[in-house]
Amino acid sequence: MPDKAFALRAGRHLAPTLVAAVILIGFAFTNAGATDLALGVNIGVAAIAAVGLTLTIGGAGQLALGQAGFMAIGAYGTAYLMRDREVAFLPALAAGVALALVIGVLVGYIALRLRGHYLAMATLAVGTGIHAFLMLPGPLGGVNGYAPIPFPEIFGYRLLDPRDQYLLVAVTLILVLLGSRWLLTARMGRELAAIRDDEVAARSVGVNITARKVQVFAISSAIGALAGGVNAPLQTAIDPSLFSTAVSIQLFVMVILGGLGSIYGAVLAAALVTWLISVVPGRGSWALTVLGLIVIAFMALLPDGFAGLARVGRSLKARWSRPGPAAGTAVGEGSK
């Protein structure tokens, strides 16, 4: 019964996103104050960018450390078109995302030739280079930033209320989650996982490695740009410090803590990291120091993040409920 199987698969994959959607939308109607909603916007933006990065790092096993650069492309692209060219919000956002898509394709071609540490360093250079470019004095304002950006207007409705602004980010995040979930479970996701686990084997079963790598970098960059582009008009002013290398590293940490490949884990980690930075005094120094130590501990003990914890739990449970592997070997020896 293919229909039933499809429905089951779709249901299983939609359920977590539906739960996330209920929580995200529900938060807007819990009488949250303007500060909470602003924090919600920041969390949502970080979560979108982190989900995009998860596709590259977790989905395809390609280390990328420059996501903040793509957020900057989306933010500055959208802001420039809205303010200086007086383009409406949605077309401006689309143009910013398209620009990041093109640059993501270029980075994808870099990733075809570099691996591991070298790719991480090259993408770090891309992100830092975009930041350095934005620091140049010029029409984009350099160090002083770019302002004022008009508030977004969707089909004639101006998003002035903090709740509306939060809802815009939340809906974007839900759409990104749906798209990423679909991408990871569709053929593309399987092929990416094959590339991540063994590139030679993937090639031997007919995976087009060139196309998949370039596509995943382009998509991940575009999602990063979406995060920046949605955020820029809500903040009304942007400056290069919002997209510094430190932000790229924070996004990387979110993906690591989220369990390398789990998009919901990335959302949770984005919420945790963003919340900690905002509530812990001293510009989050304490929080980030501790997070750095947690990352090292994770990499030493649970290299797969929280997702690894689940697997350790499952294997423990399996050991409890079933005779251990020793029984199996005994049978094997007996039959010999």
Partner 1 sequence: MRILDLLVSGLTLGSIYALVALGFHLVFKMTGVIDFAQGDKVVIGGLIGLTLVNQGLSAVLVVALIVLAAGIVLGIAYDAIVILPTQGNGPIAAIAATVGITLVFANGGQLIWGPDGKPFPPVATGGIELGEVRIGYQDLLIWAVVLAVGIGLALLLGRSRVGRGMVAAATDPLAATAVGVNVARMRAIAFALAFGLAALAGVLVAPITLAGGALGTALTLKGFTGAVLGGLGSTRGVLAGALLLGVIESELGVVMSNNVVEPIVLIALIIILLVMPNGLFGLRRQRLA
- If the CB atoms of residues 179 and 284 are measured against partner 1, the closer one turns out to be 284
Q: Hey, CA dihedral for 220, 221, 222, 227, is it positive or negative?
A: positive
- If the CB atoms of residues 236 and 289 are measured against partner 1, the closer one turns out to be 289
From candidates 28, 50, 51, 57, binder to partner 1 by CB under 8 A? 57
Write the interaction track for partner 1 spanning residues 257-276; mark x where CB under 8 A is met and - where it is not. ---x----------------
Which range binds partner 1 by CB under 8 A, 19-27, 168-176, 230-238, 246-254?
246-254
How many whole angstroms separate alpha carbon 336 and alpha carbon 325?
A: 17
- If the CB atoms of residues 168 and 260 are measured against partner 1, the closer one turns out to be 260
DSSP string, 121-153: HHHHHHHHHHHHHHHSSSTT-GGG-B-PPPPPE
Q: How many residues form the binding site for partner 1 (CB under 8 A)?
A: 51
Q: Shortest gap between Cβ of 72 and partner 1 (angstroms)? A: 13
- Residue pair 63/123 in contact (Cβ under 8 Å)? The answer is yes
From candidates 11, 26, 91, 116, binder to partner 1 by CB under 8 A? 116
- Residue pair 116/63 in contact (Cβ under 8 Å)? The answer is yes
Write the interaction track for partner 1 spanning residues 313-332; mark x where CB under 8 A is met and - where it is not. --------------------
- Residue pair 87/95 in contact (Cβ under 8 Å)? The answer is yes
- Residue pair 269/50 in contact (Cβ under 8 Å)? The answer is yes
How many whole angstroms separate alpha carbon 55 and alpha carbon 221?
A: 10
Close Cβ partners of 6 (under 8 Å, ≥ 6 residues apart): none
Query: Could you say whether residue 278 binds partner 1 (CB under 8 A)?
Result: no
From candidates 32, 105, 112, 276, binder to partner 1 by CB under 8 A? 112
Write the interaction track for partner 1 spanning residues 13-52; mark x where CB under 8 A is met and - where it is not. ----------------------------------------
Query: Could you say whether residue 194 binds partner 1 (CB under 8 A)?
Result: no
Query: Could you say whether residue 295 binds partner 1 (CB under 8 A)?
Result: yes
Per residue in 175-206, is it b (16+ CB within 10 Å) or e — as a string? Answer: ebbbbbbebbeeebbebbbbbbeeeeebeeee
User: Which residues pair with residue 153 across a beta bridge?
Assistant: 158
How many whole angstroms separate alpha carbon 261 and alpha carbon 278?
A: 26
Per CB under 8 A, residues contacting partner 1 are: 57, 61, 63, 65, 110, 112-118, 120-122, 124-126, 128-129, 132-133, 135-137, 244-246, 249, 252-253, 256, 260, 282-286, 288-289, 291-296, 298-301, 303
